[in-house]
Amino acid sequence: MKFFATTTKGLEDVLAAELTALGTRDVVPGNGGVNFSGTFKDGYKACLWLRTANRVLQPIASFPCPSEEALYEGVYALNWDELMTSQMTLAVGAKLRDSVITHSHFAALKTKDAIVDKIRDRTGQRPNVDAKDPDLRVNMHLARNQCTISLDLAGTGLHKRGYRRDPTVAPLKETLAAGLVALTGWNQTSPFVDPMCGSGSLPLEAAQLAGNHAAGLLSPDFGFQRWPDFNAALWKNLLEEAETTKRELPANLIFGSDRDKRSVDLARRNADSAGIGAKIRWSYSDFAKLEAPASQGTLICNPPYGERLGNEEELTAFYRKIGDTFKQNWKGWTAWVFTGNLALAKQVGLKASRRIVLYNGPIECRLLKYDLY
């Protein structure tokens, strides 16, 4: 059985390493995701354990699509009555590139029509559409007039870990945060510090990693749990196994700090929801006044870069202060800065030993490494 796990552009190799560690086969990184092979058990495990995947897709068909009619006919020809019942709800998402059909909303509607028409013709009833929480989410990908139809195993974005208390806050997405933690190469034994933690995405993902907490263990349910062929016994075993493999976190391993008290309070509540609140050391502090908890460790920060918060004139001085603080207070540490503003990054005033290109949504960013000898 073939699968495709999507991820943030730039994290394909990180995700491939995760899939290899899970024991899946034929792991091949691509553009924006990773192909792999396995059984339904591997698909379930991917949704439960992957930290950097946005979605796990199961391709079920691929066919030439030179016209609107070809799209409808190709989708209608599939055995949808084996994949869903008329009582189940449905949602379709579409992505297009270099094809005759150029409107994704139209393509999604055409795909949806073909599916519900097929179910109606076989059962006499049409399934309803539920865009927010469908029983079956279908992904339609059209590139150079070749259409691939896939089922979304999770049914929702895998960044929704289930621990975030305030969904209205727009933090660093959990899957990207997990990727940043992985890219630092943190050894999970020396201290990990985020001095600008916001609502806590980076410390929380570091704690989940160090504690071997399955990324999806707190998620309420996944789409595949509502499918006709769902194996409840297998899923129960996977959940029990994930619970038993958790590790206890040392008390002084992970630190989160921010000068904004509301952000730290929210981060603390998120950590409590994840069951790891007592193991992360939270504090309210300006970065320049924050003391290093040890002589060496890993520091990572995601400072504002003018896209949504602050402006460049104010932030120029702030980035210079980051560089000065690195030199004065964090000697012996490895520091990382994640930013979407290269002009501001230059104001840090230190030479980066590594530069990694990543994307935060549509924004091209850099993860910059500084060795603070």
- Each domain of the chain, given as residue ranges in start order, spans 2-152, 174-211+248-371
- Amino acid letter, residue 304: P
The pLDDT of residue 170: 57
Task: Identify the H or E element spanning 143.
Answer: strand 136-143
In angstroms, what CA-CA distances link 116 with 76, 125, 172, 192?
Answer: 9, 9, 37, 51
**Rounded Cα gap, residues 329 and 296, in angstroms:** 11
Residue whose tokens read 């179910």: 119
pLDDT in tens, 90-140: 999 999 999 999 999 999 999 999 999 999 999 999 999 999 999 999 999
The pLDDT of residue 286: 95
State the pairing for strand pair 354-360/334-339.
unpaired
The pLDDT of residue 68: 95
Largest Cα span, the chain: 73
Right CATH for 2-152 from 2.40.50.140, 3.40.50.1820, 3.40.50.2000, 3.30.2130.30: 3.30.2130.30
- Amino acid letter, residue 120: R
Looking at residue 235, the DSSP 8-state letter turns out to be H
The pLDDT of residue 136: 98
**Rounded Cα gap, residues 30 and 49, in angstroms:** 20
Domain at 174-211+248-371: CATH code: 3.40.50.150
Strand partners, 351: none
The pLDDT of residue 373: 87
CB 244 within 8 A of CB 238: no
The pLDDT of residue 169: 59
- pTM as predicted: 0.94
pLDDT in tens, 27-46: 999 999 999 999 999 999 99
Residue whose tokens read 């400072």: 303
Contacts of 120 (CB under 8 A, 6+ apart): 86, 126
The pLDDT of residue 186: 98
Listed as ranges, residues in the chain with pLDDT below 50 are 309
